[in-house]
Every structure is written in C-alpha cells, then in structure tokens.
Structure 1
C-alpha cells in the first residue's frame, strides 16, 4: 500500500486545515474509517477499574448472591466457611481461637490452617474471640461479601482488554491468577503471623522490654480479615477507573450517594476491628499485601496479568508529535499492530501482549496516513494504543502518594482500636474489697522470705519500702481494702543481722507499724526448702487470708507493680474462678497462692526433702512451687490449666550477685518490664 505521506522522526505528520499559528493542532488518523468505527463500538466493553454504585445497588440481594455464588473462588471460600463453622458448632474442633501461643508452643497447626474459615458459634469460641453470636455472623457475611468484591475486581484487572481469545479462556485464566494470588497471600500471612509471635515474645521480647508485646503471641486469629487487607493493598496499587464516579447503568438514578469501590471495601475491612483487637493479624495482611503488590506490578509491567507494553520507538515519535501539539488517534483494535513505513524503512509497532504469551499469528496493518478530521465522538486518550505504559516512575508515584499513606492510616487505626480494646482501668478498691470473700479477715498476705546472704548484703529495706509506698498514708482516710492486706517479714535463722537492722529501721514508720509483721524462728540451717515449709505452715495456719504470696527479699515492686498485682488478682477471680494462684515475677518470688493450695504445696516440698535425703534428684524449691501452681504434681492436679500470670515482671531483681542458692545473674536479667517467663505458653 502506498503512503500518501510518511512522517519522519524529525517532523510531525501533515496537518489538516489552515492555521494562523505555527503551533496549530493537527490530527493524524491512522486506519480506515471502518476500523475507527469498530473500535468506537468496542470501547464500551472495556473493563472498568472501579465501579461506582449506590448502597442500594451494592447490597441488593441480586448483587450479594452474584458475589457469593457466581464466582468460583468466593464460592469455595463460602463452602469451606460453612463446613468448618458447623464442625466447630458440633463442639469437636476447634475449641479456641488460633494464636501463635497454640501454634508454636502447643503444636496446633491444624487450628491455624482452618482459622480463616471458622465463624465462632459456640460459647467457648465466642468468648475466646471476644464476640457475640450476632456480631460473629454479621462479620462473617461482611467478610465474604468483601472477598467477592475483591475477586470480581481483580479478575477484571487480570483479564485486561483482550480480543484474540474467547471470553471463557480469558475468564479461566484470570480466575487462575486470582486463585494463586490468594494461596500465596494465605501462606505468607500465616507464616509472618507466627514469626511476629516468636520475635516479639520469646526472641526479642525476652530481654528487650520495648520490643515485648503481649498480644503478638496471644491475639485471637480467626476469619478472613488479614487476607482482605492484603487484597485491599493490591487493589489500591493497580490502576483506577478513568471515570470512577460514573454510576453504573443499573444504579438508581435518584440516589445522591455514589461511592468508589475502594472506599466501600475499606469500610468492610475495618468492620473487623469493631469487636476485637486484630493489629497483629490484620497488620500481617497489610505487610504481605504490600510485598505481593510489588510482584503484581512487575507482572503487569512485563505485559502479563492484564498489563500493557508499548513499543519504545513509537512512543518516542508520539512524544515528538505531542511537543508540536499534534493529537494522535489510533483507530485500531487491541489485537492489531501498527506499521508505519517510510519508503523502505519501517517503524516498530505497538503490541498488546497477554499473560499467556500465546503464539497466535500477528497481523500487520499498513494504513495510508492522510489528513483527516478527528471523530467528535471518539475519546482517543482511552484507546488501547494511546494508554501510557505503567513505568517505574508511575509505580513510585502510586506507591508513595497513595498506597503507603493508605497502609499507614490503616495501621494507625488498627493500633488505636487495639489500645481501646485492651485498655483496662485499674480495679477500684471497693470492687476488689467486696468481690473476693469480703468476710475473710485478710484478702492478701505477702510473706517476704529473708536469710543471710553472701558478704552480708541486705536488700530488706529497699524491698519493703517498695511495698509500703503502695499503701495509703496513715493520717489519710483508711480504706477497708488496705486493712485486709498485710506484709510479713519471715526468717528461720537466729543470727540474721540484716533482719534486725531492717526491723529497727521501720519501727518508727507509721505504715510499717500498721501493715508489717516480723517473724523470726530459731535455727541455723540454711535450707531454702525447709525455710519455705516452715514459713508456709506457720503463717498459713495462723493467718486467715484468701491469698498467701511467697516473696523474696531482693525483689522490690516496680513502679505501678503493686496496683498491677491487685488488678491481676481481681481479673483472676472474675475470669478464672477455679484458679489456684497468680504468678507475677519469676523464680521463687511472686508466687501468690490461695492459702489452701499453699499448704498443699508445703507437702510437695516436704516430699522432695525426704527424697533428697534418700539421694534422689529433686527439683529446686522454686520449681516445685511453680509445678504445683501449674498442676504438674499429683498433690496439685486440680490446678492444671488455671495459672494466671502477669504480662511482665512486676518486681525487679536486686540480688543478681548475692543469691542464697549460690547462683549468679547479670544485673540486666529479670528486671522490670521483662516479659513473664511463662508468657506465651498455651
């Protein structure tokens, strides 16, 4: 075919009409009028990137039914959710929320795998998930609808604008891409969630209080929330609809509320933060979504997964024309190439490649370039050949200007709602005093065990002062609660100068006179086990107290630790009625038993002492007490699964180099803010 005019690399095509200015706009029409009309008729079938709809249209029965049951991946998720929820309703499995504490330290991997598809319906699961039955069902339906919206949108984007394949083949391919994408997200989210639980609890969280987060290992993980947040980030990374606010033809014309899909999906995702804290669960989804979105962007940049690739030579020529105010309209369909030749030299053509890199034969079209007026009804900027390639600079702008700010805002919302859900005010004195056996004379008796240490070092003064600082002033109004709390300093060593020194020091202290008792029993043997047996039996039988706390004289309370101890005791009484005690520190300090259990523990210690005399290996005294509270001894079997612990250590260790047992610790070990050693155990 002969060319009436051939544009060169240095000059634009011929212009039509006359102009009084050197910068007059020219229109170059490439292709026949039939091809232009054919493209104009096909543009209405191009997939939209964002649909705008009214709330009535989105939440109509027909729309919801289509989203849940007419899309293959969503349909599978619905079936799995129904099956696993009914299994849980039967009381078989699972019995509680999935969390890293159960997965990493309890070996419940199956619970993690089915956790996205479980709707809590039983009282045990509802309590574990902090939800009511109505909220659980509504949240499950909302998440399934949201998942259906993501599948509908992303499969449309992955389908792209293809004309060389049948609709069935295109739909099947886009569904396959979405399915694989979801599987990758599920695996990465579950793995990252367990990694966070380990890092911020038993790894970094062990010795670095600033990096310890209790919920990182205990937060309930049920439902589709993290996967929806991941898909939300991926969708935000992909192109927007060129006309995002144009209502669909099926929308109600009288409605004044028109929303972009992305806003509706953000709201649906945020419904998950209403009943409970999901900062670690959903946060894992946001991070995974960001990483996966980079992979999706790369695939589309290479012309796969619905992306487009432009021929560089033509794009350069187009930019030269644009610099001279030449408007280029391409009247071709998506599957065709453009060839512009100048005598024997031909320019490379624009190509639209699909995700399968199929080997269909390519058709070359040579068209006469002639001056022609633009079709007034054709939007040339919307034509496939005119759409700009998604360059690296575009991805960077999209990332920095839209995706990252959205992720940061969502993370802020997750953290803020988590703080609201986890905020628990200090228990009032009246509530604590009246809720736990108000007729028993003493609610709490704290026994400070003391014995001579190496080099004559003493810590009684500093430790006891931290206790008394938490008591109200004597000259102020006396609250009944503090009349039910007492401190007993106990030793069974006759020659203990530091005991005498501390007793003399506190003789003139009004708080000590009111709340502290001093007990010394004659003896010279330095045996921690016998020391504990003697103290527990003497005080446990003479003092009528609900709780009896075993404390060491080198563990003073941290700032606010005394009140946190009272909060822990109160919540143990409210939430674990059959508990045997509360553990707030480590080793042999901070073990607060119910008095009857403490007396039982003394028999465990006595049995160990007899076994030791027979030459048998026995656990250390503090380990024996811990085992009793854990229910790991026949005498204390009723205590199994009832131990209540504080999140962090409420007492700091002073005697790191003066242990009565001969041990030596770093001065940085076992200090205020450290996570409790038992924290994270299922």
Structure 2
C-alpha cells in the first residue's frame, strides 16, 4: 500500500518560461494543445496604475521628475539622456512614477508549470509510428528491399530511396523494437516541448522535414570529404568509418532536435511527489540534459559518431536559421491611429521568442500623443544568443560522443595461436611470392622489403608449455632433427635452378601439424633474370642470416625475358606446385615493404575475420597494384590462366577484376573480396618502375593511405 500511495502521488510537470508569447494560451499554437486542468500558471504580472499614464486625448506634456529641474535639455547632453532612458527602459519617463523594481525581476523570471502528458500522442509522433510500422512490415515481407543507409551506398549505387526511408526502418526483434520505441518516446518529448516554441505543429513539421533532408545530404558530403577526398591528399584526415557507418533509425535527427531545444534551454522537467503531505518533494532536471542522456542509449548498440555529429551540426545551423526567421508576434493594427485606443491596448507587446529581457517602450511624438510600440531586439543579438546556447549544447555533447567512439575504436589483435588453430586444412598459412626484376640504378629495394617482413617474425617461436615434448623424447629427437643443427652450418643447395636454404622439417619433430603460426610461413623470392645484382646481394645476405634461412627460399629461372605478365603467371604456378599446400598465395613486388609490426598484426586480424565471417571469400587485398594480394589457391590458379586471356588489360588489374567478380570466369567471387581500411604496404620504388608506362610521385601509395577499394560497397571491410 505505501508503494501504491507513492505512485499515486507522483506527477511529472514541465516548467516553461512565460516571458514570451510562445507559451501563452492566447497564442494559436497553444490554444488547442493545452488543457486547463493540466496547467498551473503563476499569477499575472502586475501592471502599473492607469492614473499614472498620460491620457490619449490631450496634448503631450513634458515629463518631469519631482526632484529634478524641468528646464529643457538640448544638444548632446539631452540626446545622450534620452538615449539612456530609452535603452534602460525607465518607466518614469512615461508614467511619471517608477514602478517597483520587483516588477522587472518578476517579469524576467515568470514561469508556468503544466502537467506533462504524452497521451494522446503528439501528431507528428503518431504518424511517425504508423509510417515506420508500415515500411518495416513491407520490408519484413520482402515486398521492398531496404537496409540501413551509409554514404557508400548512395555515392556508388545511388540508393536515394533507401536513404530517405531507412530512418523509419526497424527489424521485428525484441531489441530493435525496444530501441525504436525508445526513440519514438524521445521524439514525443521533443514535439511536446518544441511545438509551442517554434510556433505550432505545422512549423515544427516543416522543421523536422527540413532536418531530415539536410542531415541526409550533409552526411553524404562528410562521407565523401573524409574518405575519398582526404584519403590520398591528407591521410591524417582520413576516417574510414565516415563512408561506412550505417544509420540508426531516428537517432541522427533527434540529435538535431537536441540542439534546437537550446532555444528554450532553461525549460525543465519537474518530478513532484508526496503532494498530499505538508511538504512537497521535487526533482528538477533540464530538458536538454534528460534528452541528451536518453539519446546516448543509441550508443549501446553500435557506434554512430558520424551520423550523430551530422545531426548536431545540422541542428546547430538550424537554430540560427530558426531564430533569424522567427516572426514577431505583434498586432501592427494597434500602432497607427491610436487616438481611440484604450489603455489596455497600450500593453500589447511583441517580442521575439526566448528573449526575456525586453520591455515595452513608448516614444513621444511631436504631432500626436505618445504611442506604445514593440521595441525590437537587434538581429545580431538574437543570432548571438542562438550561437551561445547552441554552442553550449555542443560543448557538453561532443565529448560524450567521442568517448563512446574511443570505446568502439579500440584495437583488439587476434592471438596468433587462435589464428593458427582456425586454418588447419593446409600445411602453410602463407606462401608469399616476392617477384623481382632488375631496376634502373640497381637500388636495394629487395633487401629492404625482405628485411621488413623478417623483422615481424621471430627466429624460434615459443610453443605453449602443454605442447612441448617430454625431456626424454626431446633428447631422442634432438639428435636426428634438423632443428638441432646450427643455422650457420646449413648448406645452400641448388636444384633445378632453384636456390633455397632448406627449411627445418617440423614433421620429424611433431606428428601433428605445426603448432606455431610462424612455422607455417614461407617467402619465395622469384625472378626470371640471371643478371640481377640486387637478387644476388640479397641472397648472399639472407642465406647467412638465421631468419633468412628459416623463412626464405630462392628461385631463379634464367630466360631473361622482359614479360611481366608471364613472370606473374609462372610465379603463381610455381607456388601452386609446391609439395606442401598453402591456404593463401600472397603476391608481392620487391618494392613494397610492410608498414611495421602493427600492419602485420592487422593482416593477421583480417585473415582471421575473413575466415570466421566470410569463409567462402576469394582473397584478401591489403596493398595496391599487384602487391598485397592474398589469393585462395583456386583463385590463384584461375588468375594465372586469365592473365593470358585478357592481354589488353594490365596483369595486376586482371587479378583485381577477378577478385571483384567482374570477369565472367570469376562470378563466384562477386562480393567475396576482403580488404583493409588503409594500405598496409608502402611503395618505395616510385622512380624505378620496371614498366615504362607507369610513373609515380614520391608520396604516393604510402602507409595509412586509403585503400583504393575502400568505399566500394562490393567489397568487405572487417
């Protein structure tokens, strides 16, 4: 019973400023939307005595003060005094006696309280629910095909209709229905709060429709600018999520209304309980604060930073436009021919919205009696007030959104043991084919590239303790295992024009597949030229290096033919003819080193996510041109054949088009390519290209550049 009694005594009311006419019951926008039983209005503002006012049917007499001389003033002093009186709005100048100062403070702080009631639902909220249910039902029945909208779908596929209808789309799951109902509740609160402020339901509807169109348009512009535009020109300003981030129903537009709520930033919600007791308890919170925390619930689902920021930016601009175009609620018919006006007509005031410090002034006329007229606030003061209040909302909202974004953008690198255990149907995980040819000036690019990869891999990876053999078994195997042989004593062998340092045969140590990820990595340096000084230098260096002996094999075919297409095709075929199969055949050019340890960990992440989320993918692309292509074996075999069929197309483009599924022979690879957000390999051979048809700038295709395919909706970024 006490609990029921508590709830029966709880009331939620709105505290609204009454200094303007936006909340006045005489205003048409409020006449039909407010109920007499739900409003608790403060007493009306006392008016000065009529007897102190000059009559309208008598000539104007000079105004005087009992303690001041009535000698007329002239010149600058008189002008400055009149300006001061007009600016300060001193009532003795008009009434002969000054009202109490309580009049001003009371007029400035006048408030009204009315019971908050969202039933029946506000008009726009009601139709939003009906439209959303209709669109979502048609989509669930597959009569229409809609999904959440992102700039990549609009910029590449021109899905305008999907963009306009996606705010009203939700799935019929418990989670989505609850989130949709929550956003509809927020929309109802905004409509109930802002309808009277902006001048009625129709004007609020026009504002909402304008916000929807503006947010959708600006979102596409931001997605283009911070992805395709800055991805190459200013990589530091490249943000991949700007073009990929999906919308979240009504949330972006509600963030716009949050900034517009700053028009009446002092309005509050008041929770009143224990009304039957002598003491009334209250809990007060600003509307903006409550609405902000309600909107942050959308971030518990996913990160919507770019859509939210677009909404805030649009709302900020809308506040300025709304304040600049807000009509003055004045009756201009009262101004001319006021000879027959009553004293009550002199109190007809007209003020812009949310300006609480305006007074009604009357200036004496030399030809007729003093007339009352509304003193208008300068436009720059109105706009400056709007900028200040809107900036205050942005100042408190943006840091919260950035904190959520930091949480969602945390990097989580996959454990190497997890990746190793995910792909177990091949002996090798990667077979990296590094293709090299003589270059102008004989630069040391091949050595630099090989060293960049070896720096990421350990010499002797440590195995888990649970997988180590017993001491007796280890001593028995050590005498016969190549692992016991000193790396410096391992000879370099020549067999069928293939130079390589023999890899340790891990099968002699373990009867199961290799337990270390790095036991499943190999690099094959492949060339068609016998006169290749850099190849000879690199081979001499790394055959004496323990890591080079562990990971690198050397293959040299001496036909000396400058045929890049044939070079790539034979390299792919050589990788596929290895005795032990590989899960991926990676194509690299000798002038594309990796971008450090973090880039290698990202490659591991992408490979893991591709196998867990898209097990039927055709490959992974983390570089550009013909470098950074991780091909599935069946795709590598098909690409080696297509290179000689599409001779009018550059070799690297043939492989890329096959991975994209745009060649007839590769239709099964459509939408089955996984790429990285940025380039994980950088180009150091910009001025020594082996192709005379291509030239590059020094700063092109560097680390952290936008991947050329980033933004294409036909590729996946995991």
Pick the TM interval, shorter chain: 0.7 to 0.9
Q: Tell me the secondary structure at the aligned position of residue 227 of structure 1.
A: helix
Do the aligned partners of residues 416 and 390 (structure 1) sit closer, same or farther apart at CA in structure 2, a change above 3 Å counting?
A: farther
Q: Does 1:108 align with 2:159?
A: yes
Q: Does 1:512 align with 2:543?
A: no
Indicate the residue corresponding to 1:72 in structure 2: 123
> What is the count of residue pairs matched by the alignment?
555
Query: C-alpha offsets along residues 458-481 of structure 1, whole Å, 9 cap, x if unaligned?
Result: 410000011001102438669701
The alpha-carbon deviation at position 331 of structure 1 amounts to 9.6
Do the aligned partners of residues 92 and 460 (structure 1) sit closer, same or farther apart at CA in structure 2, a change above 3 Å counting?
A: farther
Indicate the residue corresponding to 2:384 in structure 1: 396
Residue 703 (structure 2) aligned to one of 659, 663, 672 = 672
- Provide the rounded CA distance (Å) in 1 between the counterparts of 2:328 and 2:118: 33
Indicate the residue corresponding to 2:511 in structure 1: none
What is the 5 A alignment of 1:475-554?
480-542=516-578, 543-554=580-591
Residue 604 (structure 1) aligned to one of 607, 620, 642 = 642
- Provide the rounded CA distance (Å) in 2 between the counterparts of 1:557 and 1:212: 20
Q: Tell me the secondary structure at the aligned position of residue 551 of structure 1.
A: strand
The alpha-carbon deviation at position 406 of structure 1 amounts to 2.1
Contact (CA 8 Å) 1:445, 1:548: kept in 2 or not? yes
Contact (CA 8 Å) 1:47, 1:156: kept in 2 or not? no
Indicate the residue corresponding to 1:426 in structure 2: 413
- Provide the rounded CA distance (Å) in 2 between the counterparts of 1:307 and 1:496: 92
- Provide the rounded CA distance (Å) in 1 between the counterparts of 2:331 and 2:253: 23
Contact (CA 8 Å) 2:262, 2:288: kept in 1 or not? yes
- Provide the rounded CA distance (Å) in 1 between the counterparts of 2:231 and 2:350: 57
Do the aligned partners of residues 342 and 66 (structure 1) sit closer, same or farther apart at CA in structure 2, a change above 3 Å counting?
A: same
- Provide the rounded CA distance (Å) in 1 between the counterparts of 2:452 and 2:181: 53
Query: C-alpha offsets along residues 196-225 of structure 1, whole Å, 9 cap, x if unaligned?
Result: 111111112233211111011100013111
Query: C-alpha offsets along residues 360-403 of structure 1, whole Å, 9 cap, x if unaligned?
Result: xxxxxxxxxxxxxxxxxxxxxxxxxxxx9587446535633x43
What is the 5 A alignment of 1:13-24?
none
Show structure 2 runs of 5+ residues with no match: 1-49, 55-59, 69-89, 96-102, 336-343, 352-359, 465-514, 714-718
Contact (CA 8 Å) 1:454, 1:658: kept in 2 or not? yes
- Provide the rounded CA distance (Å) in 1 between the counterparts of 2:593 and 2:53: 94
Q: Does 1:287 align with 2:325?
A: no
The alpha-carbon deviation at position 499 of structure 1 amounts to 0.8
- Provide the rounded CA distance (Å) in 2 between the counterparts of 1:333 and 1:427: 72
Indicate the residue corresponding to 1:263 in structure 2: 289
The alpha-carbon deviation at position 294 of structure 1 amounts to 0.3
The alpha-carbon deviation at position 507 of structure 1 amounts to 1.8
Contact (CA 8 Å) 2:568, 2:640: kept in 1 or not? yes
- Provide the rounded CA distance (Å) in 2 between the counterparts of 1:412 and 1:349: 48
Q: Tell me the secondary structure at the aligned position of residue 533 of structure 1.
A: helix
Indicate the residue corresponding to 1:21 in structure 2: none
The alpha-carbon deviation at position 419 of structure 1 amounts to 2.7
Query: C-alpha offsets along residues 64-101 of structure 1, whole Å, 9 cap, x if unaligned?
Result: 4433xxx2222221111111111221234335321111
What is the 5 A alignment of 1:177-188?
177-188=203-214
Indicate the residue corresponding to 2:86 in structure 1: none
Query: Is 258-267 or 525-534 further displaced after alignment?
Result: 258-267
Q: Tell me the secondary structure at the aligned position of residue 608 of structure 2.
A: helix
Indicate the residue corresponding to 1:229 in structure 2: 255
The alpha-carbon deviation at position 12 of structure 1 amounts to 5.5
Q: Tell me the secondary structure at the aligned position of residue 456 of structure 1.
A: coil
The alpha-carbon deviation at position 263 of structure 1 amounts to 2.1
Contact (CA 8 Å) 1:488, 1:518: kept in 2 or not? yes
The alpha-carbon deviation at position 405 of structure 1 amounts to 3.1
Q: Tell me the secondary structure at the aligned position of residue 120 of structure 2.
A: helix
The alpha-carbon deviation at position 415 of structure 1 amounts to 2.4
- Provide the rounded CA distance (Å) in 1 between the counterparts of 2:664 and 2:264: 62
Indicate the residue corresponding to 2:177 in structure 1: 137
The alpha-carbon deviation at position 271 of structure 1 amounts to 1.5
Q: Tell me the secondary structure at the aligned position of residue 259 of structure 1.
A: strand
- Provide the rounded CA distance (Å) in 2 between the counterparts of 1:521 and 1:9: 113
Residue 87 (structure 1) aligned to one of 125, 132, 138 = 138
Residue 605 (structure 2) aligned to one of 557, 562, 567 = 567
Q: TM-score, normalised on structure 1?
A: 0.74
Contact (CA 8 Å) 1:52, 1:245: kept in 2 or not? no
The alpha-carbon deviation at position 571 of structure 1 amounts to 1.0
Q: Does 1:96 align with 2:133?
A: no
Indicate the residue corresponding to 2:628 in structure 1: 590
Do the aligned partners of residues 335 and 285 (structure 1) sit closer, same or farther apart at CA in structure 2, a change above 3 Å counting?
A: closer
Q: Tell me the secondary structure at the aligned position of residue 644 of structure 1.
A: strand
Contact (CA 8 Å) 2:146, 2:166: kept in 1 or not? no
The alpha-carbon deviation at position 262 of structure 1 amounts to 2.2
Residue 303 (structure 1) aligned to one of 306, 325, 328 = 328
Residue 348 (structure 1) aligned to one of 349, 368, 371 = 371
- Provide the rounded CA distance (Å) in 1 between the counterparts of 2:425 and 2:51: 107
Contact (CA 8 Å) 2:437, 2:527: kept in 1 or not? yes
Do the aligned partners of residues 138 and 600 (structure 1) sit closer, same or farther apart at CA in structure 2, a change above 3 Å counting?
A: same
Two-structure CA RMSD over aligned residues (Å)? 3.6
Contact (CA 8 Å) 2:63, 2:94: kept in 1 or not? no
Residue 213 (structure 1) aligned to one of 239, 249, 267 = 239
The alpha-carbon deviation at position 340 of structure 1 amounts to 8.2
Indicate the residue corresponding to 1:449 in structure 2: 435
Do the aligned partners of residues 475 and 216 (structure 1) sit closer, same or farther apart at CA in structure 2, a change above 3 Å counting?
A: closer
Query: C-alpha offsets along residues 647-682 of structure 1, whole Å, 9 cap, x if unaligned?
Result: 000011011111111211001111111100000011
Q: Does 1:459 align with 2:445?
A: yes
Indicate the residue corresponding to 1:355 in structure 2: none
Indicate the residue corresponding to 2:193 in structure 1: 153
Residue 190 (structure 1) aligned to one of 210, 216, 225 = 216
Contact (CA 8 Å) 2:594, 2:682: kept in 1 or not? yes
Q: TM-score, normalised on structure 2?
A: 0.71
Higher relative contact order, chain-length normalized (CA < 8 Å, sep 6+)? 1
Indicate the residue corresponding to 2:678 in structure 1: 648
Indicate the residue corresponding to 1:360 in structure 2: none
Query: C-alpha offsets along residues 29-79 of structure 1, whole Å, 9 cap, x if unaligned?
Result: 999xxxxxxx9xxx9xx995xx688xxxx6xxxx44433xxx222222111
- Provide the rounded CA distance (Å) in 2 between the counterparts of 1:419 and 1:52: 41
- Provide the rounded CA distance (Å) in 1 between the counterparts of 2:52 and 2:299: 66
Query: C-alpha offsets along residues 487-510 of structure 1, whole Å, 9 cap, x if unaligned?
Result: 111112222221111000112211
Which of the pair has more CA radius of gyration? Answer: 2
Indicate the residue corresponding to 1:412 in structure 2: 399
- Provide the rounded CA distance (Å) in 2 between the counterparts of 1:449 and 1:307: 84
Contact (CA 8 Å) 2:270, 2:283: kept in 1 or not? no
The alpha-carbon deviation at position 137 of structure 1 amounts to 1.3
The alpha-carbon deviation at position 272 of structure 1 amounts to 1.4
Q: Tell me the secondary structure at the aligned position of residue 432 of structure 2.
A: strand
- Provide the rounded CA distance (Å) in 1 between the counterparts of 2:593 and 2:291: 51
Indicate the residue corresponding to 1:201 in structure 2: 227
Contact (CA 8 Å) 1:339, 1:346: kept in 2 or not? no
Query: C-alpha offsets along residues 126-167 of structure 1, whole Å, 9 cap, x if unaligned?
Result: xxxxxxx333211111111111111111111134xxxxxxxx
- Provide the rounded CA distance (Å) in 2 between the counterparts of 1:264 and 1:276: 21
Indicate the residue corresponding to 1:359 in structure 2: none
The alpha-carbon deviation at position 517 of structure 1 amounts to 1.1
